[in-house]
Structure 1
Amino acid sequence: MANTGNRINLSVDLRVIIGVLLAIIVAMLIMWMPWQNAENDNETITVTGEALVKAEPDQYIFYPSYQFTNVDKTAAINAANAKSQDLTTKLKELGIADNKIKTDINGYKNQPFEGNTNQDYIYSLQLTVTLESRDKAQTIQDYLVTTGPENNVTPQGSFSETKQNELESQARDEATKDARAKADQSANNLGFKLGRVKAVEDGAGFGNPVPLLEGRGIALDSTAQKPESTNVNIMPGENELRYSVTVTYYVR
């Protein structure tokens, strides 16, 4: 009889233990609700992080052009070639390397129309000079003003490839942090939790080049008197680089 009583007590104790364990498991499930933590492809949030960085340009590009008109096609071409030779020779004397100078000559023949029988050949010389030094850019601007260009000799300020990559890296870091901050803010305000990152799309864009002259630009036509020098200084200012990152998160 004593052995039977012990078996009954043991069975009762085991049922109590199992019941307690089940109660604990149920309570944990209610508290944690793991079924709500499962990621669903249809439950996502997309945010766009943005960044704007500013820096002084480290590259200066000149685009002066020259025009030559003559009734004789060969004479017009020869004049353009002679001007190109004079310009490149002087630029090299001023310390500009060959790979920083580019010339392009193209032209057309005027077609007569009512009231105008002009059939001159018109050829244009486009000169491109790329520099990395502000001081050197000032020297080249002072020279180009004296060469009778048809258009403005103000250099365009831009970022070199090295500088661009450096700024993009900085902007990307700021943009990704901005994206995460926006996602966290939405999660806190709307009552959900962020899961893993589903997708990322990033890209950069540049602001428009800023004028580099202190005051107005300088433009001279081929018949204007050529000044000996210019007191217009190159003022680089700052260029802008905008960067954005669009991130999609799973939510739960």
Structure 2
Amino acid sequence: MKHLALVLLIFLAGAGIYTWWMQGTSTVAITGDATVKAVPDQFVFTPSYQAKDADQEQAKSKASQIGNEVVQKLRDQGVQDRMLTSSVSVAPDYSYIMPMPTGQVSGYSATYMLTVKVDTVDLARKVQSTLVGTPLVGALTPWSTLQAATRNTLEREARKLAMEDAKAQATDTVDTLGVRILGITSIGQPMWGGVTPLAATLNEKADVAVAPAGGTSPDLLVGEQEVSYSIQIIYRVR
């Protein structure tokens, strides 16, 4: 019984001290922001090629031949197989003859789709120069991004800078108000700006004009990309 009374007494004393300590305190919310920039280190191209034939397998074979020739050209420029992914799809073509309500299969179209991911600007420019001279379906629309390891490094840097920004703002605030910081009440969920393309980067996905074989391709402009971070920290002040 004596032990219970002692515990209760300690609890009440602690509660009293806490109440006294909290009197005259308030909170101030500070938002820290940071943005870091980096030159993209991954460049992605997604060209596609098409072939037609009355026979399904022949259409697939023709498209594959075109794609394989393109792949070999890329290899000759230094592109490694680990940077390449390909697939071939075949779809029927239909002809409609009135008054028939449904179309009849008139042949097949095979599409060879290629994804090229390279990690240097010089190689990306070689890839672009090579691809614009091939029989592309549609325009070539490359884009740039950051590799996962680079993005993680930038995120850590942005987070550190955002917290330093919040700390500096908190110091300025308490100096101006004539109060002092007692501690941190809470740290909010971070807000990521993610990878943000700037002007003149491949992420704009502007169509690249297809130059004839042996022609001149547009210069590949890279620019910089941004990773932004914002976090709210609530301080208790007196």
TM-score, normalisation: structure 1? 0.68
2:195 maps to which of 195, 206, 218: 206
Answer yes or no: is the 8 Å Cα contact 1:156–1:211 preserved in 2.
no
Provide Cα deviations, 1:201-243, integer angstroms capped at 9, x if missing partner. 3353111475447xx74344xxxx8321324211111112112
Greater Rg by CA: 1
Answer yes or no: is the 8 Å Cα contact 1:143–1:229 preserved in 2.
no
Cα drift, residue 175 of structure 1: 0.9
The equivalent of 2:165 in structure 1 is 178
Counterparts in 2 of 1:249 and 1:110: CA distance versus 1, 3 Å: farther
d(CA) in 2 for partners of 1:193 and 1:118?
A: 82
- Give the match's secondary structure for 1:67: strand
2:114 counterpart letter in structure 1: L
Question: 1:38-117 residue pairs with structure 2 within 5 A?
Answer: 38=22, 44-110=27-93, 117=103
1:73 counterpart letter in structure 2: Q
Cα drift, residue 184 of structure 1: 4.2
Question: 1:214-225 residue pairs with structure 2 within 5 A?
Answer: 217-220=207-210
Counterparts in 2 of 1:184 and 1:152: CA distance versus 1, 3 Å: farther
d(CA) in 2 for partners of 1:50 and 1:244?
A: 4
- The runs of 5 or more residues in structure 1 that have no matched partner are 1-32
d(CA) in 1 for partners of 2:93 and 2:173?
A: 64
Figure out how many residues of one structure are paired with residues of the other and give that number. 213
Counterparts in 2 of 1:85 and 1:180: CA distance versus 1, 3 Å: same
Question: 1:102-251 residue pairs with structure 2 within 5 A?
Answer: 102-110=85-93, 117=103, 119=105, 120-185=107-172, 187=174, 193-197=180-184, 198-202=186-190, 204=192, 205-208=194-197, 211-212=200-201, 217-220=207-210, 226-251=212-237
- Give the match's secondary structure for 2:72: helix
Cα drift, residue 141 of structure 1: 0.9
Cα drift, residue 57 of structure 1: 1.2
Cα drift, residue 36 of structure 1: 5.2
d(CA) in 1 for partners of 2:213 and 2:220?
A: 17
Q: Give the fraction of aligned pairs with identical amino acids, expressed as a percent.
A: 27
d(CA) in 2 for partners of 1:194 and 1:80?
A: 69
RMSD of aligned C-alpha atoms? 3.4
Q: Report the structure, 1 or 2, having the larger strand content.
A: 2
The equivalent of 2:4 in structure 1 is none
Counterparts in 2 of 1:37 and 1:193: CA distance versus 1, 3 Å: farther
TM-score, normalisation: structure 2? 0.72
Counterparts in 2 of 1:249 and 1:94: CA distance versus 1, 3 Å: same
d(CA) in 2 for partners of 1:209 and 1:118?
A: 49
Cα drift, residue 183 of structure 1: 3.8
Counterparts in 2 of 1:35 and 1:96: CA distance versus 1, 3 Å: same
The equivalent of 1:7 in structure 2 is none
Cα drift, residue 44 of structure 1: 4.8
Cα drift, residue 35 of structure 1: 4.7
